[in-house]
Amino acid sequence: MKKLVFAALFFPVMFLSCSKDKTEPESEPESPVNAITTYANVSFGVKHDDAVHARFFSTETGKSYKDSEVTASTGPKIDICFEQMDVSVNYFLSATDRDVKLTIPGATGSLFVNYVTAEVMTIAEFDAMTDSDKLAATAIDKNDNNAFGAGNIPVLVLFKNAAGKKGVIKVTAINAERILADIKVQK
């Protein structure tokens, strides 16, 4: 008798749960328009052809690339490059800039403001940033051709990539081999 009651209850449940002919794909929740992506402790090498530290970064892939890893498939994705002339002259630049000293296949241009005043954005504002409202309201329409020194750390650098996404880099440490940075960019 128990088997009959079980079967009587079980089969209707199975029938109802399997009766839907079409399966709807699950949709991913949409990101808010003002969402940002954050990358922490991104390392940039200060020397060309460094076998350990990368000089290039892609906000699209979230990956760093060493000189030897720049190819026809990675080149178009690179939107942040780092260059150091000496510890007092550090700057971020576009993959299309001649100072990169490496031909990046399919390189796209980015704009960088390497000297950001407190009137534009402070370190505290960067640290508190959870959306892109401040970035969206900030004008980034040309390179400033400035640099920063090791004595200025932490320092902020603004950028806008070829896709029009704005971002900010906070350089947190620098030594003879590399710099460390946190990056926030519009999604």
pLDDT at 182 over 90: yes
* Mean pLDDT within 85-108: 92
What's the pLDDT band for 87 if we cut at 50, 70, 90? confident
45 close to 178: Cβ distance less than 8 angstroms: yes
95 close to 103: Cβ distance less than 8 angstroms: no
- Digit-coded pLDDT (tens) for 16-53: 444 444 434 444 455 678 899 999 999 999 998 888 99
Per-residue confidence (pLDDT) for residue 33, from 0 to 100: 81
Name which of 112, 52, 51, 60 is nearest 81 in CA terms. Answer: 112
Question: In the chain, where are the structural domains located?
Answer: 35-186
Per-residue confidence (pLDDT) for residue 10, from 0 to 100: 44
| C-alpha to C-alpha distances, 60 to 20, 37, 80, nearest whole angstrom | 39, 10, 11
- Digit-coded pLDDT (tens) for 151-181: 989 999 999 999 999 999 999 999 999 999 9
